[in-house]
Amino acid sequence: MGIADLDGNKLLDVYAQIASIPVGYNNPHLKEVAQSPEMITSLINRPALGNFPSADWSHILKTGILRAAPKGLDQVFTAMAGSDANETAYKAAFMYYRQLQRGGPEVEFTAEELESTMNNKGPGSPQLSILSFKSAFHGRLFGSLSTTRSKPIHKLDIPAFDWPQATFPQLKYPLEEHVQENAAEEKRCLEEVERLIKEFHNPVAAVMVEPIQSEGGDNHASPAFFQGLRDITKRNKVLFIVDEVQTGVGATGKFWAHDHWNLSSPPDMVTFSKKAQTAGYYFGNPALRPNKPYRQFNTWMGDPSRALIFRGIIEEVERLNLVENTRTTGDYLYAGLESLAQKYPEHFQNLRGKNQGTFIAWDTPKRDEFLVKAKTVGVNIGGSGAQAVRLRPMLVFQKHHADILLESLEKIVKLV
Amino acid sequence: MGIADLDGNKLLDVYAQIASIPVGYNNPHLKEVAQSPEMITSLINRPALGNFPSADWSHILKTGILRAAPKGLDQVFTAMAGSDANETAYKAAFMYYRQLQRGGPEVEFTAEELESTMNNKGPGSPQLSILSFKSAFHGRLFGSLSTTRSKPIHKLDIPAFDWPQATFPQLKYPLEEHVQENAAEEKRCLEEVERLIKEFHNPVAAVMVEPIQSEGGDNHASPAFFQGLRDITKRNKVLFIVDEVQTGVGATGKFWAHDHWNLSSPPDMVTFSKKAQTAGYYFGNPALRPNKPYRQFNTWMGDPSRALIFRGIIEEVERLNLVENTRTTGDYLYAGLESLAQKYPEHFQNLRGKNQGTFIAWDTPKRDEFLVKAKTVGVNIGGSGAQAVRLRPMLVFQKHHADILLESLEKIVKLV
């Protein structure tokens, strides 16, 4: 479960390998999956999935990754980890954008495109962009890092694309005391997004956003903000990509965090990794499939072993009703944190994540010391941004774990 | 072994999941590895290796990935697949280059760097470059794709960095009849590399090269050419990275293809994937480690399951002496192909890969038809570039398999 045994001492793990363990350590069902004949074959006979998918690959996808697909998105491109999941989604967006400009999938590339792309120049390699948000984190390879705006240390010395960033709403807490102010902030940010889409010198092919900025400090926005992004992107014929690498697979009390938004139409793509233990992007529109073979391709295109583990995770989530568990445990935990915040207001500032399952965070002045002291009382806990403590327990986290955590937090504030 | 049984019919597989299966399908030793307690743990308790490596991770590395390390390179950064292995090597090169410019690892970033990098602008996000070669293939994410110059279809519609490309030698065959001409061609290419390093407007931090251009058409160059690259990069204080994603792990009759070159000093970094079933880059110079934490980082930083498989592969390669097997079988196969080329000169042009194990290719006028017809006689075989047939059998490929292949090739040429 969420408690690892270290030489007889218990450690409560609410960081969970950077938010990537969903159904506990040593989960018995996953252990069965790991010993299954399918798993052994996938480990020792790893296929090049794009060319030689195994006979059961389609079945594995249908009963696994695709069974968890967000509403309206019934197709998937499989990848290895969050960064390449995001980058292949960006590639799909660029191909789609140019296809629209060109007039459809059947229009052939021009001689000039074919020649210029071999020199990394337009029109074949066009200067298009992905719009992301300040404080966003979308990965660390060259394309994804160009959309990451979390901390300088993630970006320094690495060449980046000239792509635009918009301001992510900086909400004030408690939310109920800042309703108008926060609405105005979100409106201002949406206007900035639309202005950048219309005016940025490298045309925007897609807007990329996290439901909760997870590395950047646990920054939340309202469903209305995200509906606004959906409207703006649609109006401007720009794709809307939701990065659910950290928020996906149950942690917010919905299977996908964007399920909280009740969008009028689904995102164009949703990327995933971490708790899925595999990675990729979901999409719905068939026009997002490349119009020719070998445009989106690589040797492995994911890993069936990890796809089998995700299937096992989905089965456990369903069997144990873990999304519901995370929702109710999260509500319970949030209430306990509210009490702590009343008692120790200086240590628990800007508590956030209400009704977001266990995806809860707060700011604390001596944050780094707080994280270190936590280990001394048996809690493994992480930070995000400059000041936040972020909770990322597993989906199997229950009320009695929450009680241990709340007691421990009180001990920690007395130590820092 | 290299022969897969399809409903009672045998298929000789000399493509091997795009050159990525080393020790045969259903290898019994790998099967044991796949069922080991270590494997089960690594599958169900996947660690975030950068923060929480398992207690045995260092042991797994020392007895596995690091045991196969190229001479002089005793450190490794682990990754997921070829593209991110190459891109993290590029990141290491950029950090190293800027660190030299800055005056050492202890020199702090300037306020201007910290600020500009958040806007994807210099000096924090500098306009540095990686020099690669025409027809090169180094992957398909944004940074690696900017160094890939194989085919337009790999690159079209995707924004790319303004990075330089030099000409890869276009040797004439048979080599022994074009000694002077080929030497002049290599000299010309080396001069172009040095000119680009000195003059290209985005300063070159590293030169990236494949020992044999594998997707781009099986283009070879001599050891002298690569020694020339080593000299030029050293002279110009630019890093020399060798992409062994396709050539590594035994296929050329050496464990690493660059072992054929007898370099005066090792490459600065060597990247690997495919037959390793995991990925990453090796390096020797401790200054290539980032000077601060979280500069080279991601959640998983590789996958211990796949590292265990690579360890099993190394054990099989040693136990069965498979590098030597590939060398002798390759020589035998090459001789057989020389006979075929004499008999059918129009079908076997520019035969190449002598003394390179089974890493053999030739050009043939109706190449795509050749590949299709091959399947009708029970052979799975791949192409590279526009005209080449490339052989990528597994390391367990033996003389009696070579005999079947040679017989089949003669059947195929009668069908196209």
Residue A47 has its nearest CB partner, among B17, B143, B161, at B17
**CB–CB contact A141 B143 (8 Å):** yes
Name the closest residue on chain B to residue A204, using Cα atoms.
B159
- Cα separation, A299 vs B23, in Å, equals 18
Q: Could you tell me if B23 and B30 are in contact, meaning their C-beta atoms sit under 8 angstroms apart?
A: yes
Which of B156, B278, B380 is the best mutation test for A, with the most CBs of A within 10 A? B156
Q: Å from A150 to nearest chain B CA?
A: 8
Which of B83, B120, B155, B275 is the best mutation test for A, with the most CBs of A within 10 A? B120
pLDDT tens-digit map of A258-309: 999 999 999 999 999 999 999 999 999 999 999 999 999 999 999 999 999 9
pLDDT tens-digit map of B300-322: 999 999 999 999 999 999 999 99
Query: Average pLDDT for residues B170-197, to the nearest whole number?
Result: 98
- Cα separation, A166 vs A197, in Å, equals 10
Q: Is B299 assigned a catalytic role? A: yes
**CB–CB contact A159 B126 (8 Å):** yes
Query: Helix or strand or coil: residue B148?
Result: coil
Name the closest residue on chain B to residue A100, using Cα atoms.
B157
Q: Could you tell me if A212 and A247 are in contact, meaning their C-beta atoms sit under 8 angstroms apart?
A: yes
List, in sequence order, every beta strand (DSSP E) within B273-394. Answer: 279-283, 349-352, 361-363, 379-380, 382-384, 388-390
Residue B48 has its nearest CB partner, among A17, A34, A134, at A17
CATH topology of domain B3-23+321-415: Aspartate Aminotransferase, domain 1 (3.90.1150)
Which residues of chain A are within 8 Å of residue B13 when distances are taken between CB atoms? Answer: none
Q: Å from A83 to nearest chain B CA?
A: 9
Residues of chain A with CATH 3.40.640.10: 42-318
- Cα separation, B270 vs B259, in Å, equals 12
pLDDT tens-digit map of A71-119: 999 999 999 999 999 999 999 999 999 999 999 999 999 999 999 999 9
Q: Å from B385 to nearest chain A CA?
A: 13
**CB–CB contact B152 A118 (8 Å):** yes
pLDDT at A2 over 60: no
pLDDT tens-digit map of A327-370: 999 999 999 999 999 999 999 999 999 999 999 999 999 999 99
Which residues of chain B are within 8 Å of residue A52 when distances are taken between CB atoms? Answer: 17
**CB–CB contact B158 A94 (8 Å):** yes
Q: Å from B184 to nearest chain A CA?
A: 25
Q: Is A243 assigned a catalytic role? A: yes
Query: Could you tell me the two tokens for B405?
Result: 């292949």
pLDDT at B5 over 60: no
Q: Å from A405 to nearest chain B CA?
A: 20
pLDDT tens-digit map of B347-374: 999 999 999 999 999 999 999 999 999 9
Residue type, B323: V
Q: Å from B342 to nearest chain A CA?
A: 33
Name the closest residue on chain A to residue B307, using Cα atoms.
A43
**CB–CB contact B155 A117 (8 Å):** yes
Query: Could you tell me the two tokens for A366?
Result: 């001596």
CB pairs under 8 A between A and B: 260
What pLDDT does residue A20 have?
Answer: 98
- Cα separation, A335 vs A337, in Å, equals 5
Q: How many C-beta neighbours within 10 Å does residue B336 have?
A: 18
Model ipTM value: 0.97
**CB–CB contact A126 B157 (8 Å):** yes
**CB–CB contact A81 B83 (8 Å):** no
pLDDT tens-digit map of B98-124: 999 999 999 999 999 999 999 999 999
Going by pLDDT thresholds of 50, 70 and 90, the confidence category of residue A10 is confident
Closest by Cα among B122, B99, B104 to B112? B122
Which of B84, B243, B303, B363 is catalytic? The answer is: B243
Q: Å from A153 to nearest chain B CA?
A: 6
Which of B299, B343, B399, B403 is catalytic? The answer is: B299
Which residues of chain B are within 8 Å of residue A385 when distances are taken between CB atoms? Answer: none
Residue B242 is inside which H or E element, if any? strand B239-243
Going by pLDDT thresholds of 50, 70 and 90, the confidence category of residue A1 is very low
Which of A13, A84, A218, A243 is catalytic? The answer is: A243
- Cα separation, B387 vs B170, in Å, equals 14
Residue type, A71: K
**CB–CB contact A27 B44 (8 Å):** yes
Q: Is A292 assigned a catalytic role? A: no
**CB–CB contact B48 A82 (8 Å):** no
Q: Could you tell me if B78 and B281 are in contact, meaning their C-beta atoms sit under 8 angstroms apart?
A: no
**CB–CB contact A35 B30 (8 Å):** no
**CB–CB contact B17 A299 (8 Å):** yes
pLDDT at A3 over 70: no
Residue B125 has its nearest CB partner, among A21, A31, A159, at A159
Q: Å from B126 to nearest chain A CA?
A: 5
What pLDDT does residue B3 have?
Answer: 54
Query: Helix or strand or coil: residue B194?
Result: helix
Q: Å from A248 to nearest chain B CA?
A: 15
Which residues of chain A are within 8 Å of residue B305 when distances are taken between CB atoms? Answer: 43, 305
- Cα separation, A269 vs A116, in Å, equals 29
Residue A298 has its nearest CB partner, among B81, B129, B292, at B81
**CB–CB contact B46 A140 (8 Å):** no
- Cα separation, A146 vs A165, in Å, equals 10
For chain A, the three-class secondary structure string (H helix, E strand, C coil) is: CCEEEECCEEEEECCHHHHCCCCCCCCHHHHHHHCCHHHHHHHHCCCCCCCCCCCCHHHHHHHCHHHHCCCCCCEEEEECCHHHHHHHHHHHHHHHHHHHHHCCCCCCCCHHHHHHHCCCCCCCCCCCEEEEECCCCCCCCHHHHHHCCCCHHHHCCCCCCCCCEECCCCCCCCHHHCHHHHHHHHHHHHHHHHHHHHHCCCCEEEEEECCEECCCCCEECCHHHHHHHHHHHHHCCCEEEEECCCCCCCCCCCCCHHHHHCCCCCCCEEEECHHHCCEEEEECCHHHCCCCCCCCCCCCCCCHHHHHHHHHHHHHHHHCCHHHHHHHHHHHHHHHHHHHHHHCCCCCEEEECCCCCCCCEEECCCHHHHHHHHHHCCEECEEECCCEEECCCCCCCCHHHHHHHHHHHHHHHHHC
pLDDT tens-digit map of A298-320: 999 999 999 999 999 999 999 99
Q: Å from A40 to nearest chain B CA?
A: 6
- Cα separation, B342 vs A385, in Å, equals 68
Going by pLDDT thresholds of 50, 70 and 90, the confidence category of residue B69 is very high
Which residues of chain A are within 8 Å of residue B26 when distances are taken between CB atoms? Answer: 41, 44-45
- Cα separation, B172 vs A136, in Å, equals 52
pLDDT tens-digit map of A385-394: 999 999 999 9
pLDDT tens-digit map of A363-381: 999 999 999 999 999 999 9
**CB–CB contact B83 A84 (8 Å):** yes
**CB–CB contact B114 A52 (8 Å):** no
Task: Provide the residue count of chain A.
Answer: 416
What pLDDT does residue A6 have?
Answer: 47
Residue B46 has its nearest CB partner, among A20, A35, A134, at A20
Residues of chain A with CATH 3.90.1150.10: 3-23+321-415
Which residues of chain B are within 8 Å of residue A243 when distances are taken between CB atoms? Answer: none
What pLDDT does residue A162 have?
Answer: 98
CATH topology of domain B42-318: Aspartate Aminotransferase; domain 2 (3.40.640)
- Evaluate the omega torsion of the peptide bond into residue B105 and state whether it is cis, within 30 degrees of 0: no
Which residues of chain A are within 8 Å of residue B153 when distances are taken between CB atoms? Answer: 292, 294-295
- Cα separation, A153 vs A14, in Å, equals 25
CA dihedral A139, A145, A149, A153 (to 10 degrees): 90
Task: Provide the residue count of chain B.
Answer: 416
- Cα separation, A244 vs A283, in Å, equals 13
Which residues of chain B are within 8 Å of residue A88 when distances are taken between CB atoms? Answer: 141
What pLDDT does residue B10 have?
Answer: 82
Which residues of chain A are within 8 Å of residue B200 when distances are taken between CB atoms? Answer: none
Mean pLDDT of chain A: 97
Write B336-339 long-range contacts (CB < 8 A, 24+).
Answer: B336/B402, B336/B403, B336/B406, B337/B362, B337/B406, B337/B409
Bridge partner residues of B379 (DSSP): B12
pLDDT tens-digit map of A221-249: 999 999 999 999 999 999 999 999 999 99
Q: Pick left, alpha or beta for residue B29 (phi over 0 → left; psi -120 to 50 → alpha; otherwise beta).
A: alpha
**CB–CB contact A44 B25 (8 Å):** yes
Residues in contact with A225: Cβ distance below 8 Å, sequence separation at least 6, in sequence order = A169, A186, A189, A190
- Cα separation, A109 vs A96, in Å, equals 14
Provide the percentage of residues in chain B whose pLDDT is more than 70: 98
**CB–CB contact B160 A120 (8 Å):** yes
Residue A124 has its nearest CB partner, among B113, B149, B156, at B156
**CB–CB contact A120 B152 (8 Å):** no
Q: Is A343 assigned a catalytic role? A: no
Residue A162 has its nearest CB partner, among B21, B120, B139, at B120
Which residues of chain A are within 8 Å of residue B163 when distances are taken between CB atoms? Answer: 120
